[in-house]
Structure 1
Amino acid sequence: MSPERWATVARRARHLVGRPVRALFVFAVAAGIGLALVLPFAS
């Protein structure tokens, strides 16, 4: 394949991978904040 084709494929793959990874990261941060808020009251 030509370099241009590789760049297009790589960009599309990165876009497809980036969305779920970003969603997981946001979820992990939200869960961490939630745990930090709840744990002092739960114990």
Structure 2
Amino acid sequence: KGSHVLAQEVLAKHDENYTPPEVEKAMQENHRRPQRADKDTSS
């Protein structure tokens, strides 16, 4: 009936504010503002 898990050792501590540098860089690159679609670039 029990649904408990008994951990023998702690392998990592969760830090909700930590972002690995490579993830931070990817997020910054993917969240750049797109160029405005209404700009006239034909002239």
| TM over 0.5, shorter chain | no
**Normalising by structure 2, what TM-score?**
0.38
Select the structure of larger CA radius of gyration. 2
Question: Counting helix residues as a fraction of each chain, which structure ranks higher?
Answer: 1
**Normalising by structure 1, what TM-score?**
0.38
